Structures are given as structure tokens and as C-alpha cells.
Amino acid sequence: MKIFIDFDDTVFDTAQFKAKLKNLLFKFNITQEEFEATYLDYPQRENKKLKFYNPENQIKKLEKLKKKSLEKARKKMNLFMRNLSQFVFNDFYFFAQEFSFAELFLVSFGDSEFQKRKIIACGVKKYFKRIFITKNSKGKIIRKQIGKFSSKKEQVFFVDDRIDQLIEVRKENPKIILIRMKRPEGRFSNLKESVLFKKNFFEGRNFFEVEKIIEKISSRSQNG
Ligand SMILES: [Mg+2]
């Protein structure tokens, strides 16, 4: 069995992280509007290029906006970024213990430097056999990995909170078993779902539920 897992809003409480980041910047007289204008929740298309969030760029943008140096804020931000373990959902640790290190892969979407920093600073790196950060296709990365597995019959799961990512991964990997992480606190839990796609994935509200789904499916296939 192999399980590919998304990072933001799945393992990591990105909404809470954003809230803390905001509070930190508010202390340096950044307003709500200025924060929102310089923060990217998810990659955005601009002049045909995808733009990804990272805090260093945000500070630079804020400096331009405020026409002054924000060196103190930058230092505070760097300090804050050193330990992010408070943002890991607790149920993830339960999940990580239920499976072996060799079964777990992390696939994250976004700015590679920033994602790497978050993944290391929150302490989850050690639970994964491999970690992938991409600005392009998660589906292609997973397909390439599946090609390397010795047993082609092995069950492969993908867990992500975003429907568009599930769809993209399914396109590249028709046999993959999809589980949508639908946390009540997730930033994207209200996104419209594709009606056509609705029946083709499982849903869990946390890693306890995701683990149950995987147990059920894998024992079912062993018995059948
Ligand atoms: Mg996510």
C-alpha cells in the first residue's frame, strides 16, 4: 500500500497559520486590507504566469505599499517560521503511526522554498519516505512513483482537501483511490463540487476517518 498525502489544509492547519501570520503583521501596523492584498491563499494566474505565496515576497510587497522598510517585521516573521509544530493537525500523528514510513509520501503544491520551510519547521518530514513539492502536476509525480513500485497490484491512495487536485491526480492515475479531506476548519471546504465527479471519491473529516476508509478498502480487497 502507498498513500500520497497533501500538505496544506490536510496535514497542516493553513488557516490557523495564516491567522497567526496576520496577527504578527498587524503588530507592525499592517492593515487587514494591506495583508489581504499581499497574501495569496492559493496560486493565482497573472499575465499567464502562476504566482505562489511566500512570506519574503509578502514583506517586499508590503514595503512597496507602505514605502518604508519592514526589517523588524521580517525578523519577527523569520523567528515565527522556525517552529511551526503548533499547526500540525493532531490526528495526523495518529495516522502516521498506523502506517509504515515506507507507505507514506507527501505531495505539496506551491512555492518550493516556502513549502520546504513549512514542512521542515512543523516537524513532519520524518514521517514520509519521500517529499515532493511541485508547481505543476501532482498527478504526474504520483504516476512516476507508481511506475517505480515493485508490485503493480499495490493499492495506491491519494488524500487531498481540494477537488481540483483530486481530479487532476485521477486524470493521470485512473486506478488511484481518492480520499477528500474535508475538515470543518479547511479553507476550501465550501468549494463547489463537480456533480459528475461526486461519486468517485471518499470523504473524511480528519485522519481518524481517513484511516478507517483505508482500512476498510484494503481489507475488502484482501478478502475478495
Ligand atoms: Mg491542500
pLDDT in tens, 99-141: 999 999 999 998 888 999 999 999 999 999 999 999 899 999 9
Find out whether 217 and 155 touch, Cβ atoms under 8 Å: yes
Q: What is the pLDDT of residue 46?
A: 66
What architecture is domain 2-13+85-223? Answer: 3-Layer(aba) Sandwich (3.40)
CA of 212 to the centre of ligand 1 (A): 20
> pLDDT band for position 80 (50/70/90)?
very high
- Ligand 1 centroid–CA 186 distance in Å is 9
**Edge-to-edge order in the sheet of strand 130-134:** 130-134, 104-109, 2-5, 156-160, 177-181, 202-204
Question: 13 CA distance to ligand 1 centroid (A)?
Answer: 10
Ligand 1 centroid from CA 115, angstroms: 12
Mean pLDDT of the chain: 89
Q: Where in the chain is the domain with CATH 3.40.50.1000?
A: 2-13+85-223
Distance 117 CA to ligand 1 centre (A): 16
Among 21-25, 49-53, 79-83, 177-181, which stretch is predicted with the lowest mean pLDDT? 49-53
**pLDDT band at residue 191 using 50, 70 and 90 as cut-offs:** low
Distance 72 CA to ligand 1 centre (A): 30
**Ligand 1 center–CA 183 separation, angstroms:** 11
Through-space distance between the first and last CA atoms of the chain, rounded to whole angstroms? 16
Tell me how far the alpha carbon of residue 111 lies from the centroid of ligand 1, in angstroms. 13
**How many secondary structure helices (H) and strands (E) does the chain include?**
9, 8
Run of H or E including 38:
helix 32-38
Average pLDDT value for residue range 40-63: 79
Q: Are 192 and 222 in contact (CB under 8 A)?
A: no
Distance 160 CA to ligand 1 centre (A): 6
CA of 110 to the centre of ligand 1 (A): 10
Q: How far is the CA of 75 from the centre of ligand 1 (A)?
A: 27
Separation of CA 218 and ligand 1 centre (Å): 24
Predicted confidence (pLDDT) at residue 192 exceeds the cutoff of 80: no
